Amino acid sequence: MSSDPTVGPGTAAHPLAAVPPEPGVAKPDPILVVDGVVKSFGGLRAVDVAHLEVPRGLITGLIGPNGAGKTTFFNVISGFEAADQGTWTFDGQPLAKVPAHRVARRGMVRTFQLTKALGRMSVLENMMLAAIGQRGERFLTSLVPGLWRGEEEANRRRAEELLARFRLDRMREEYAGTLSGGQKKLLEMARALMVQPKMVLLDEPMAGVNPALTQSLLGHVKALRDEGMTVLFVEHDMDVVMDISDWVVCMAQGRIIAEGPPASIGTNRAVIDAYLGGQHDDPPQVP
Amino acid sequence: MTSTTQRSDQQATVGAGAPRGRRTDSPWGLVAVLVALLLVVMVAAEMIGVRSQAIFVEALRVATGPSAAVYALVAIGLNMHFGYTGLLNFGQVGFMLVGAYGIAIGVAILGWSLWPALLLSVLFAVALALLLGIPTLRLRADYLAITTIAAAEILRFVFRVRQARPVTGGVRGLFGFTGDFYRVNPIPTGEYAVALTQRTLWVLLLAALAAAVLVLASRMAGAWWARAVQPQRAWGALAGTLVGLWLGAGLTVLNPIPAGRYRLLVTTTHARIWGLVVAALIAGALAALARGHGRRGLTERRQSLAGAAAVGVAAAAVLAPAFYAVNPFPDDYLFALLRFSERRLWVVLVGWSLVALACLFVWALMRSPWGRVVKSIREDEDAARSLGKNVFSYKMQSLVIGGVMGAIGGALLALTIQTVQPDTFLPQLTFFAYTVLILGGAARILGPVVGSVVFWFIVAGVDGFLRRAAAVGALPEQYFHAGSIGAVRFAFVGVGLMLLMIYRPQGLLGDRREMQLDVQ
Amino acid sequence: MRIPMRVGVGALLLLIALLAVPAGAQENAEGVRGTLTNQAGEPVEGVDITVRDAEGDVVDTATSDEEGAWSVPVPGPGSYEATLDTDTLPGELGLTDPERQTLSFTIRTGQNRTLIFQLGERETAAAQMFGRVAQSGVNGIKFGLIIAMTAIGLSLIFGTTGLINFAHGDLVTMGAVTAFVINTAVPGVHLIPATFLAVAVCAGFGGALEAGLFRPLRRRRTGLIQLLVITVGLAFLLRHVILFFFGGSRRTYLNYALQSAVEIGPVRLTPREIVVMALSLVVLIGVGLLLTKTRLGKAMRAVSDNRDLAESSGINVERIILVVWMLGAALAALGGIFQGVVVNVNYLMGFRLLLLMFAGVILGGLGTAYGAIVGSLVVGIVTELSTLWFPAELKYMWALLVLIVILLIRPQGILGRRERVG
């Protein structure tokens, strides 16, 4: 269910228009439903999400002060860390205890805060690596080139298309480690797309990127949504969040303290408290 | 998108990344060090009255012999583990052990013939890899190192213990299992040698001179004489000439023309006619390639090379007799580089054939998508996982493959020394294999092979020098006797390993930019 | 009448022997014999001793006569073993050391060897077992204390620099060998001052390694794996330089070499073993106090815990690392000397200990000094106790198995922090 790009969040025609801005609120057609997920580190609850639904085909922003548990939350739902408790389903299928590589194969791909562009492989190799369902990746078939040359060619063409779209095609033979920070982010995004995911988790995609490149990246993210992909991204830059999100979720101390369309989040008491630490006139609201 | 974003997209900090495929990392420094070492040893030998030629020949013998093949195989396995996958396996000697015992137990205890016993070696290796890998592959690199070295030692203890005697022969080990292997030796009894005849020496000398000139010309590309030489094409011509000379000498066996002298324009022998015919065929083929025919068109550069080669072959065929007539080396001059009995030749051929097969296998693997996944795991496991790759499975596959190669190396060792004893398989063998791998260049197909040959050449050379020097009395007898010379060898390897890791961890063939030795 | 009979029989036997032996060979005199007495010196009669050859076939069985004497001729030079049949012992007697029921020995040409089976009061099976367990336990503690002393350095070096030092075992050997050289040099120095000197030399060497090798490499940002392999090369180098100069045989120090054991309840220890154990304990306690009570110790722990934090709170990390290396090398050397006193000195002693150190340190928790101590004691005890039920050749294997098992179940060890091990 792709959203109409001309209809922004907060307008009446937006698919989430009827959803009240409460933490843990149910949404029409959620692709990811999280229930009671808890992750502790030595007595400290890093993640304690009672309920969260992420709407399909839209861009959801995940904000919160440092240490709120956003990256840990990503790690848990994408299988990179084990949850202490809780369940979550992706496209109706339960994902708890599924290892990270299977999660990726099921269509949920994540990027990392510190880009993991494989520096000692070329840009093109990075892309080709990401293609799914490669027969040539199996040990026995890899020994017979005839069995995988065909799909390799097809993957290469798709990779080059994506690289062209992200304007990295000139760098296709360069070692990925020689790219600039922004280019690496683009590469990670392009590479994530090679997996043909249903949902993309972007962990601080704009971090360390110069402002000029930020606009370009934003455009790419919006284009993802327009193609029907669901995007959940963590970001600190409020302008970015306000600009492209269809929905915003705010975490603090591991819990979800607020949800709603971008406009409402900026004035949300709980959110302000979380960021400023509750040092202002009004008493802090219990989320 | 606005024009500003377009421009910023294209903004690139062009880093140190050179276009792929061209190595910026020259190994000649290390080569120079090694050559200098060789020269020092040879000069020192001459100075104390020891024949350096004997040391050289002995070192060459070891470097091309079964030991080098064994270590090449073991290092190829280690290359799969450490070079390509980033697994710090310090227990490779354990795989050697089970491989050696596999073949020995198969033949000596179970009474099988050679091939099924070899299969047993492979099975043992697979089992060991699985047993070892399932619990430990999740561990960090340095923990994996400790675990694997512990596992290999446990294996050695178990094979050594008195209770295991019926199966493994205990401390004494097993012997008498190599009969079959030497029986199927097709090489007729006799002495064989690889020798340089006076012709070969003459050719090599001139080729070396020509190569030196060409290298110089390449370096000084601007000078007038360099441009006249046209180094690009000249290499092709040189290659063609050498091929032509070699063919002229070698293919006489296939000559269908009946012996005798014939008269065609000039009186000439059947051998010459045959030589000309062959040369014409090859030159013709090369010329055709140069003109662009053939299944796949060659690049322009290669076409010009092919053309130059054709000229070289033709020139060689025509000028060969004149060329050999001015040979300054005396007619009966023969320099024997290597000597073999038919037994040793058989082992050497089998060993290096196995090495070639293993290299081919690894080459095919690593250029496939499978190899790509493995390389990505070496670099960053989490990135590979996030792209849907089952990291554990690939690590396990790599462990199995590398382990099997180590086991085959062990089996070859068993066939060479004709016994298996647990105390042969000490942890230091693993570290020898690592030295070989790092010297040659990790994550390079031929790294282990080059490393093994060079390693054994150096070790045997130093060994030989020390032994002869001690025999001649140049070194104090109380310190330099048979046992302690072995210690010098090991100490030397230790120093070598340290220096390599400090100054040139990529070895001879490796590339510094691709070095993946850090642990996070 | 008897004398001529004996002569006759003797002549006959001689004839048979001469005929049986190939012409030109000497008379076959190889054999083994002994005399069995109880603790009061009285002969014990009627006890069977069975001699077997290297393949395990029985050569012959002899029974001790009224003088307690027995003898078994053997067919020729070689390896044999003699087993005393404890069932044939009179009721109140048993072997003082039940382990020594079967004795292995070799016979050279023409040698007639004497074996001693020590007999004493027979203990009940339970008392025997208790005695053996206690002895093994104490041996284990003794071994474990030595491992603990050497392992602390390994653990601290890992804690402060992240490097697993594969050359640590050879620092142990170096300590033992240095003390040996000083002890046996002419004029010889008594072991005690030799120990102090050797420890000082090794501490200096450890410091030199850190300052001259590892610090510049760290500055160059050399990867940990690279450093690890460098320590492997260093280990090789040290071990074989030692082998070159020291030789491959086992040697002992000039002092305290021959001592008789003292019995403390069911346990027998030589005085040097007791002293070594006591001193090890003192040193370990001293190190423990150093780490907890002194500023230096606290700084060491801080650097181990979180290097950057320690640096930003004003601790001179490089200096601490230097101290850690020197202390670690000193402790390793001391451990080596103790091991040399208790067992012997040989060029492989440290490398053998290295794997056990790994086991102890990982069991206890890599990076913590207390962990090293606890883990090493466990390793020592496990190793020695295993000999009660399993062949002695396998005793190191159990420690290594413990190592692997711990890495699977609880990789951070008993006392370690829960950090990423995989």
Residue A118 β-bridge partners: none
The full set of domains in chain A, from first to last, is: 30-117+179-276 (3.40.50.300), 120-178 (no CATH)
Closest partner residue to A216 (CB to CB) among B9, B364, B391 is B9
Q: In terms of domains, do C56 and C112 share one?
A: yes
Mutation site, C226, C246, C351, interface B, largest B CB count within 10 A: C226
**Which chain B positions have a beta carbon within 8 Å of A129's beta carbon?**
372-373, 376, 384, 387, 389
Is the per-residue pLDDT at B415 higher than 90? yes
Residues of C in contact with B141 (CB under 8 A): 225
Q: Which of residues 412-451 of B touch C (CB under 8 A)?
A: 428, 431, 434-435, 438
Q: What is the pLDDT of residue B159?
A: 92
Other beta carbons less than 10 A from residue C403's beta carbon: 27
**Averaged pLDDT of chain B:** 81
Give the pLDDT confidence score for residue B7 in this predicted structure.
32
The answer to whether residue C35 is domain-embedded is yes
More confident site: B325 or C180: C180
Q: Which residues of B touch C239 (CB under 8 A)?
A: 490, 494
Among B85, B89, B157, B477, most C C-beta atoms within 10 A, so best to mutate, is B157
Q: With an 8 Å Cβ cutoff, are B153 and C240 in contact? A: no
What tens digit of pLDDT does each residue of B43-94 get? 888 888 888 888 888 898 999 999 999 999 999 999 999 999 989 999 999 9
Which position has the higher pLDDT, B271 or C286? C286
A104 and B387 within 8 Å at the Cβ level: the answer is yes
C230–B498: do the CB atoms touch at under 8 Å? yes
Domain end (from C98, C122, C146):
C122
Q: Which of B155, B502, B516 to mutate to test the interface with C (most CBs of C within 10 A)?
A: B502
Q: What is the mean pLDDT of residues C230-256?
A: 89
| Residue C377 counted as domain residue | yes
Structural domain of C73: 30-122
Structure-token pair, residue B145: 């190192």
Please check whether residues C244 and C214 belong to one and the same domain.
Answer: yes
Report residue C185 CA to chain centroid gap: 25
Q: Is residue C216 domain-shared with residue C82, that is, in the same domain?
A: no
Q: Using the structure block, give the residue that is written with the tokens 């003390």.
A: C179
Domain CATH number, residue C369: 1.10.3470
The distance of A57 to chain B (nearest Cα, Å) reads: 21
Highest average pLDDT, of A246-255, B54-63, B410-419, comes from B410-419
Q: Are residues C187 and C325 in the same domain?
A: yes
User: Which residue among C69, C98, C122 closes a domain?
Assistant: C122
What is the mean pLDDT of the segment spanning C26-53?
A: 81
Answer yes or no: do C39 and C80 share one domain: yes
Residue B401 has pLDDT above 90, yes or no: yes
CATH number at residue C75: 2.60.40.10
CB of C23 closer than 8 Å to CB of C66: no
Identify the residue among B128, B138, B143, B512 best suited for mutation to test binding to C, counting C beta carbons within 10 A and taking the highest.
B143
d(Cα C336, Cα C176) in Å, to the nearest integer? Answer: 5
Check whether B195 has a pLDDT greater than 50. Answer: yes
Return the pLDDT at C334: 95
Q: Which residues of B touch C222 (CB under 8 A)?
A: 502
Residue C162 region, left (φ>0) first, then alpha (ψ -120 to 50), else beta? left
Strands (E), B403-512: 419-420
Q: Judge whether residue C238 has pLDDT over 90.
A: yes
Comparing CA positions, the residue from B3, B15, B54 lying closest to residue B467 is B54
pLDDT bucket at C391, cuts 50 / 70 / 90: confident
Mean pLDDT of the residues in chain C: 85
Determine the pLDDT at residue B198.
74
Query: Which positions in chain C touch B431 (Cβ < 8 Å)?
Result: 232-233, 236
Q: Give per-residue pLDDT as tens, C309-359.
A: 888 888 889 999 999 999 999 999 999 999 999 988 999 899 889 999 999
CB B174 within 8 Å of CB B103: no
Q: Is the pLDDT of residue C27 over 80?
A: no
The predicted structure's pLDDT at residue C118: 80
Give the model's pLDDT for residue C217: 92
Instruction: Enumerate the β-bridge partners of residue A34.
Output: A52, A88
Contact B105, B159 (CB under 8 A): no
Q: What is the ipTM of this complex?
A: 0.87
Read off the tokens for B93: 């000697």
Q: What angle (nearest 5°) sits at the alpha carbon of residue B274, between those of residues B263 and B329? A: 100
Looking at the structure, tell me whether residues C245 and C155 fall in a common domain. Answer: yes
Q: How far is A274 from chain B (nearest CA, A)?
A: 31
Element (H, E) at A161: helix A149-165
What does the pLDDT read at residue B518? 44
Within an 8 Å CB–CB cutoff, is residue B498 touching chain C?
yes
pLDDT in tens, C63-84: 988 888 988 888 888 888 888 8
CATH number of B28-186+342-511: 1.10.3470
Whole-model pTM? 0.79
Closest partner residue to A125 (CB to CB) among B361, B372, B380 is: B372
Tell me how many domains chain C contains.
Answer: 2
Q: How far apart are CA B153 and CA B448, in angstroms?
A: 24
Q: What is the pLDDT of residues A141-166, one digit of tens each?
A: 888 888 888 899 999 999 999 999 88
Chain C interface includes B135 (CB < 8 A): yes
Give every CB contact of residue C4 below 8 A, 6+ residues apart in sequence.
Answer: none
Which residue from C238, C243, C397 is facing B154, i.e. has the nearest CB? C397
| Amino acid identity, position A270 | A
**Residue C418 domain-assigned?**
no
- Bigger pLDDT: C339 vs B196: C339
Q: What is the pLDDT of residue C25?
A: 43
CA distance A60 to B262: 91
Q: What is the pLDDT of residues B344-357, one digit of tens each?
A: 888 999 999 999 99
Asked if residue C142 and residue C107 are part of one domain, the reply reads no
- Give how far B87 is from chain A: nearest CA, Å: 17
In a domain, C235, yes or no: yes
Domain match, C318 and C236 both: yes
Report the distance separating Cα C264 and Cα C258, nearest Å: 19
The confidence score (pLDDT) of residue C120 equals 76
CB contact under 8 A, C407 and B434: no
Determine, for residues C397 and B488 on separate chains, whether the beta-carbon distance falls below 8 Å. no
How do beta strands A85-90 and A93-94 pair?
Answer: antiparallel
Checking if the pLDDT of C126 tops 80, the result is no
Alpha-carbon separation of residue C358 from A156, B142, C144 (angstroms): 48, 11, 13
Strand partners of residue A49:
A37
Torsion of Cα atoms, C301 then C307 then C309 then C315, to 10°: 70
Q: Is residue C396 part of a domain?
A: yes
- Residue A175 DSSP class: B
- In chain C, the residue whose alpha carbon lies closest to the alpha carbon of B489 is C240
Q: Any idea which of A251-260, B174-183, B317-326 has the lowest mean pLDDT?
A: B317-326
Residues B144 and B137: beta-carbon distance below 8 Å: yes
Chain A hits for B6, Cβ within 8 Å: 167
Summarised one tens digit per residue, pLDDT across range C157-168 is 988 888 999 999
- For residues C113 and C137, state if they share a domain: no
Partners of chain B (3+ Cβ pairs below 8 A):
A, C
Say if residue A13 is exposed, middle or buried (CB neighbours under 10 Å; 0-12, 13-18, 19+): exposed
Residue at C178 is within a domain = yes
Partnered with residue C50 across adjacent β-strands are C61, C83
Asked if residue B4 has pLDDT above 50, the reply is: no
pLDDT in tens, B94-108: 999 999 999 999 998
Residue C19 domain flag: no
Amino acid C171: pLDDT: 95
Give the pLDDT confidence of C189-219 residue by residue, as tens digits: 888 888 999 999 999 999 999 999 999 999 9
Q: Within a domain: residue C15?
A: no
**DSSP of B478-501, one letter per residue?**
TT-SHHHHHHHHHHHHHHHHHHHH
C196 and C310 fall within a common domain: yes
Does the distance separating the beta carbons of B491 and C240 come in below 8 Å? yes
Q: Which tens digits make up the pLDDT trace of B224-279?
A: 776 666 666 777 777 777 777 776 666 555 667 676 777 777 767 776 777 777 77
| Residue C203 and residue C279 in one domain | yes
**Domain range list for chain B:** 28-186+342-511, 195-335
Contact between A32 and A232 (Cβ < 8 Å): yes
Cβ–Cβ gap B8/A216 under 8 Å: yes
Give the DSSP H or E segment for B248: helix B231-250
